[in-house]
Amino acid sequence: MASLDDLKKRIVSVKSTQKITKAMKMVAAAKLKRAQENAEKGRPYSEKMNNIILNLADGISDKENAPKLLAGTGQDKIHLCVVLTSDRGLCGGFNSNIIKKAKNYFGKVLGEGKTLKIITVGSKGYDQLKRLYSDKIVEKISFKESKNANYFDAEKVGKIIIESFLKKEFDVCTIFYNKFKNVITQIPQEQQIIPLKSSESEGSTSEDNYEFEPEEDEILSNLLPKNISTQIFKAMLENSASEQGSRMSAMDNATRNAGEMVEKLTIQYNRSRQAAITKELIEIISGAESL
């Protein structure tokens, strides 16, 4: 049984932890509002850009000479997976949910006998994947110095992907991230960006009619690289909001659990203290009677 000093030290330690988790919850709540606004503002732009590009693709008469970023290499042998996670922990199941989604995709690709290559954006993703897929990771990227998600970081990742594609190092590129729904719920996503593929959440492009100047293929050659960076930036914004929401929820649970533990330890401390006092009184009374 723990001594009174041990119980007292543990109560002080748990209370100190409770103060930290409560502070982290408040910081996450303050950051969440702005991150959520940025994520929600970024969705219409990225989805509309995808729709415009798909509409432009429908207008190309010579499909064989279409830009490779749009049509792909024509093969499906080498898959490049870009896994976007956070650089910081203490955010509940945020990172593990993305990794779980990515691992399911990895298993499917490897099960079909295809080649897998991985780029990790965020140190937590690399830490979890290096155990099983260290030989598959071709690039690890971290933006620890960046306080908020920004387009310049997304553009750096986009350039790495495009340069790798132009060197014919992969056929299909898919990104993995968490889509923010609310503080409690973040939905793991997989999105194919090369060759470009429409998602179910995006509206049909058949109703959109555009007149192009210059020609479609010339516009696409300039627009496609920008779209890749835009889709990565959207994923980073969604991740940022999801991370803060998950951290806020996790720290709230940790704070409540710490409070419950303090109550239990206090009860245990009081009982032990009362038992010690009772024992001393019995010894004093017994000694007095013996005299």
Per DSSP, which regions of the chain are E strands? 78-84, 115-121, 137-141, 172-180, 186-194
Mean per-residue pLDDT over the chain, rounded: 87
Structure tokens at 35: 């991150």
Burial of 134 (0-12, 13-18, 19+ CB in 10 A): exposed
> Which domains are delineated in the chain?
22-250 (3.40.1380.10)
- The dihedral of CA 36, 39, 42, 44: what is its sign? negative
* Catalytic residue annotation: 91
Q: How far is it, in rounded angstroms, from Cα 162 to Cα 194? A: 9
Residue-level pLDDT at 60:
64
DSSP, residue by residue, 6-59: HHHHHHHHHHHHHHHHHHHHHHHHHHHHHHHHHHHHHHHHHHHHHHHHHHHHHT
Residue-level pLDDT at 53:
82
Element at 5 (helix H, strand E) = helix 4-58
Q: 247 and 92 in contact (C-beta within 8 Å)?
A: yes
Q: 53 and 199 in contact (C-beta within 8 Å)?
A: no
pLDDT tens across the length of the chain (291 residues)? 678 888 999 999 999 999 999 999 999 999 999 999 999 998 999 888 888 887 777 766 555 666 778 878 888 899 999 999 999 888 989 999 999 999 999 999 999 999 999 999 999 999 999 999 999 999 999 988 777 888 999 999 999 999 999 999 999 999 999 999 988 899 999 999 988 876 544 444 445 566 666 666 677 778 888 999 999 999 999 999 999 999 999 999 999 999 999 999 999 999 988 988 888 888 888 877 776
Residue 67: asked if its preceding bond is cis (omega within 30°), the reply is no
Structure tokens at 287: 């000694």
